[in-house]
Every structure is written in structure tokens, then in C-alpha cells.
Amino acid sequence: MVKPKTVLIKHSIILILLTLTLISCNSPAYISGKLEGNKTDGATIYLIKPNNLKEAAASYFGKAIDSAIIDTKGYFKFVNTPNTTEPILLELALKQPDKSSNYLITNNPILANYMPILWQTDEIIKVKANINHLQKSFTIENPSEINKAILELRDINLKAYETYLNGKEWHLEDGNQILDKEHAVLQYQTELMKFANNTQYLMPALIAIRWASPENDYERIPEFLVNQCHRWSKVQPEHTWVKQLCKQSEPDNLPVLIGDQFPNMTLPTITKDTLSLNNQLGKKITIIDLWASWCAPCRIENREVLVPLWEEYNTQGLQIIAYALESSKKSWQVATHKDGANRWLNVSDLQGDDTPFLKKIRVQTIPTNFILNDKGVVIAKNLHGKELMHWVKDYIEKQ
């Protein structure tokens, strides 16, 4: 249930783009190409240099360094060479006359109207694409090895999108379908994460990181972000974007990770007592479950997953501690009894989602769970439905 974020682009960029169209067409082109398909009069293609990692390969513009009006035959060229001696990531972004100059399609690679490439000093790049499917159809004549990797990533991204997300409709008033959507998004992200973990090139890996979450929200995949920081800080520790990646993956910016000791806190129970988490750990595993009476998938998880697990395994070393994001004690009590969740330990500060507990573990989305071993170390997280039931069964029976 990731919430989309809106990015406002400074109006001054528009003036820069208009100025760049006046550059002499007699200058030599360092990037040129042809856009095929249905032509639109007045279509313009821009060359954008992201200023930082957050602006790269997503719904953020950086600095416009060149622009070109596409001629009647579909040809264009860029001549305003970037002022750099280092390889840099650039983005070709197409503007149709009926769209604003900063309009990018970022969440649908089939229709995406921009494409990232790596440019090196004195390199001549020739490209070709369909004007209606720029990213999907984008090709480079004799691409460098890094641009080959970026094109490979584009193909992986497109295939993953078509497999897991394209054409799918989830009725989000149905609690099960909320989790179904989240699972599909995770499967899509997994393909991008695999690429980032295996590529030998930094810039394609960073593009994969950004495509995994254009909204820059990594709450559900924080371990991936941390692992990417560790990997690239060993290879290119002085790279500005690597430093930004590692800053973003600092513990204070992410939820509790797998392998971390779960914070011990004293919390009020539904019976007006208090409990210390460390004093209530199960002999084998403990599920810390974050839920709310108003959260449809949470309620389904209570009835269809946690109750059966409790009945089967609580005498074999399973503990459940459920933290409710509630402000109404009555709503909390009614939902707990109705779902059968009163079988296990229930705690809440009754401060809604503005609670010290959430701030301590740095979580904003529910349903969320953390699975701890008998020492309170997180060994798994955010498993739901049958996946959670199978995981608990396998773990307990192997102990």
C-alpha cells in the first residue's frame, strides 16, 4: 500500500528548454537519432542531466542541457556538449505538444517517454525509437558495454512489468487483493533487484534501484538498498551518487532490517497491564504483527492466518504480539474479540499512527510483521497468507 508522491518541477526549467532550441543546427551532433511512428507536429526531445540520485531515471527532472525539435522525417540531434570529462548519465525525454515540458511517464515502461543512457567525452551516439513507445523501442547503434547493460535492464524491466503488473486490476476494498497487489509489486521489483545485484556496472545498478521505486519509497525492500550501498561503496566509495545511496540506506532512514535485534520496548496491553517485548519472546519464534481494526487485509490475516497458526503452534514455541494502530480502545477491543485475536498478546499506545513504537521501528505501512527468533533477532519479515503459514510450519518443525 505504497502511497504515490507528487514532485513539483521548477518553472525556470521551461525557460532553459526554450533557450536550448535556439542552438545552431550547424554544430556537430554528439547524440542524434530518428523517431519513427506517427509524427506529431511540434514534438521536442530534451537531454536531461540528473543532478543527484533521486533525479535519476524516475519522475524527477535534473538540468536540461540540450533540446531539439524533431523534423518532419523524425530526425533530431543534440549539439550542446555537456561540460564534463567524466562519464555521465543523461536522459532523453520526449515532449508531445499537449503535455508539459516536465511530463514523464515513469510507472509504465510500455509507454515511457524517456530513456537513460551513459555518455562519455567525445562519444558519438546514434539512437532510434518509436515516438509512441520511446523507452520500449529505444536502440543504440554500436552501444558501449555500459549502455548494453542499460538496454538489458530496460528489457528486464519491461518483461517484469508485463508479467506482473500490466493489465492487472485489484479491487483494493478487498483486503486479500491489497496483499495480492503488494505481492505482485514485490515480484516485479525482485527482477530489478536481481539485475542490480548481478551487474558489474554502477550506473545500470543505480537505474535499477530507481526503477524499483520511482516514488523513492524502499520501506518494503530496505535490505536491498543496504546491500547495494555495501557493494558499491567497496568499488566506488568516492562517487557522489554512491554516497547519496549510502546516506539513504542509513538505519535511521529504514525499518528494522533482517538480522537486526528488534528493539525492546515496554508497551501497554489491552488489559491495562504493560509488557516488555524481550520478556515475552516465544521459545522458538515470535511474530510482531502490526495491524488496525480499520485495515481490511489485517483483519483477514487475523482470522485466516494467525488464528490457525496460534492454534497449531503456540504450544510448540510460537508467540504472537500484535501492536494495534488504534486511537479508540473500544474499536480495538471489538475487532480483537471478533477476529479471535484475543488468544495472543495485544498491545497499543492508542495514539493511532503517531506512536513512539512506529517511530522506533521506522514503519509507515500496514499490514507489517517481523518474525523474531528466541533471542529477539529479526529472521524474516512481511510474510503473509499461505507464505507465512508455510514459513512458520517449516521453521518450527525443523527446530
Residues 348 and 274: their CA atoms lie apart, in Å, by 10
Query: How much is the pLDDT for 322?
Result: 98
CB atoms inside a 10 Å sphere around CB 171? 10
What pLDDT is recorded for position 333? 96
User: For residue 319, which amino acid is it?
Assistant: Q
Cell of residue 107, nine digits: 510507472
Note the residue count of the chain: 399
Specify whether domain 12-164 bears CATH 3.90.1150.10: no
Mapped onto helix, strand or coil, the DSSP state of residue 346 is: strand
Place of cell 530496505: 222
Contact criterion met (CB below 8 Å) for 202 and 245? no
48, burial (CB in 10 Å: exposed 0-12, middle 13-18, buried 19+): buried
pTM, 2 dp: 0.89
266-398: CATH, from 3.10.20.880, 3.40.50.1820, 3.30.70.2660, 3.40.30.10: 3.40.30.10
Residues 253-298: pLDDT tens digits?
999 999 999 999 999 999 889 999 999 999 999 999 999 999 999 9
Q: Give Rg (Cα) of the chain.
A: 25
| Interval 41-94: pLDDT, tens | 678 999 999 999 999 987 667 888 999 999 989 999 999 888 888 899 999 999
Please, what sign has the CA dihedral across residues 71, 30, 111, 50? negative
